[in-house]
Each structure stands twice: as structure tokens, then as C-alpha cells.
Amino acid sequence: MPNFVYNPPTQRYLDIIYHDQDIVVLNKPSGLLSVPGRDPWHKDSLALRVMRVWPNASVVHRLDMATSGIIILALQKSAQSHMGRQFQQKVIDKTYFARVEGIIEQESGLIDLPLRCDWENRPRQIVDFELGKSSQTKWEIIKREKQTTLVKLTPLTGRTHQLRVHMQHLGHPIVGDEFYATEFGKNISPDRLALHAASITLTHPSSEQRVTFECIPPFI
């Protein structure tokens, strides 16, 4: 990432939605890494902040630095294993909200495009029908605005930058995306990517009951 200056937000140092003996559910702000980066200057992260409160906390999934919203950490090894299996078996449901460039005419759809890393331009991802990994995203219209559209996105797979590349390939990049948006999209949201993890549904590690956690996007 050229000329990358990491300046993580410190207001609401930890925005905790829920916690018990097994898990802690948080609202990660845009601009904060999920886990520490390799560079010592990139050490501050949601995981590090959580471990200052719960030293035994462990990561089970991540969000891109630019993406805000719900993320869950395990507070016990048994919970980490339990949720890890759920992610592997693809039985955890997640929804996102995004503001995208332009007006989408259709009401809903399914994007099915294989993705891989663009090695010469990392961390960018590209569509590749020969070498890409299978990737699917369901989308539906929430609201059409003057120059943008608010959409609900449901990833069926969990590839890097999946939602961002899929919406770009649809012809409607996510507003504020430094990698995939047009200059118009970058200019109307210069401070953040308009992508937010709004809900997650999983089986609780102890109760074995399906639970849903929600967090309203800040840009709605």
C-alpha cells in the first residue's frame, strides 16, 4: 500500500456490543486493523485492544482495516474451536451494508465471480476465471439516492476484498474505496470506505442456540 500512514481512531477505544464467558462482540471502527500488522508502527489493532482487557482472547475472523462493523473474538479455547468450525462449515451468516456509486436498476441479484490476488498490485484482488477461487455474493437494494445506491450484501463465501471487487465488477464500486472506486466515488467519501458489517448469526459455543448480533451502519 503506497504511502500508507496508519492513524487508527482512538475515540471509543473499544465499542463492546456484547460479551459473556465465551465471546466478545465489538463494533470495529473504519481505519483500525483487526490484528497487528508486521510493521511495529501497525501494532495497534482491535485484537490487541481486546487482549488488554481479556488476555486470553483469540481471533476467529477479521474485517478489512477500512471496513467497520461487527467482529467477534473468542474468550476461551473451546469457543475459538467451536466458532472456527462454524466458519469452516460456512454456517455463520453475515450481512453488510454498502453505499455504491451510481443507481442500480435491478432490485436484487447474485454475483458469482472467482477471485484471486493481483500479486503485482497487492493487496488488490481481481476476477480470474482460470485461477480464481469460487466467490458468491447476494445483493439487494435498500435505497436509491441521487448519485449512489444503498445496498445490503450477503457474502456466501469469504474471500479477501470479495464485496469490494464484486461490486466494482457489477459496475458500482463501493464509495470511498481507495483501491476500486472511481475518482467520483473517492471524492464523495474521502474519509472512509462505505462498507459496514451490520449483522452476524452463529451458534453460541455454550448454549448451542442460534444468536444474532446487529450494529447499525454509521453512514445510513
Residue 165: burial class (beta carbons within 10 Å; 0-12, 13-18, 19+): buried
User: Pairing state of beta strands 93-101 and 195-203?
Assistant: antiparallel
Segment 177-195 mean pLDDT: 94
C-alpha distances in angstroms, 206 versus 5, 84, 137, 168, 219?
A: 41, 14, 30, 40, 34
- pLDDT value at 4 more than 80: no
155/159 Cα distance (integer angstroms): 9
Q: Spell out the domains of the chain, with CATH numbers in brackets.
A: 16-89 (3.30.2350.10), 95-195 (3.30.2350.10)
Task: Show which residues are catalytic.
Answer: 64
61/22 Cα distance (integer angstroms): 15
Strand locations in 156-205 (E): 195-203
What would the grid cell of residue 19 be?
Answer: 460479551
Task: Report residue 189: phi and psi, to 5°.
Answer: -145, 70
How confident is the model over 129-183, as pLDDT tens digits?
A: 999 999 999 999 999 999 999 999 999 999 999 999 999 999 999 999 999 999 9
How confident is the model over 54-80, as pLDDT tens digits?
A: 999 999 999 999 999 999 999 999 999
Burial 83-115 (b: 16+ CB within 10 A, else e): beebeeeeebebbbbbbbbbebeeeeeebebbb
Which of 122, 148, 132 has the alpha carbon at shortest distance from 219?
148
- DSSP 8-state assignment for residue 27: E
% of residues, the chain, pLDDT over 70 = 98
Which of 165, 143, 163 has the alpha carbon at shortest distance from 153?
163
DSSP-assigned beta bridge partners for residue 200: 94, 213
pLDDT band with cut points at 50, 70 and 90 for residue 189: confident
C-alpha distances in angstroms, 31 versus 60, 157, 174?
A: 20, 24, 16
73/19 Cα distance (integer angstroms): 10
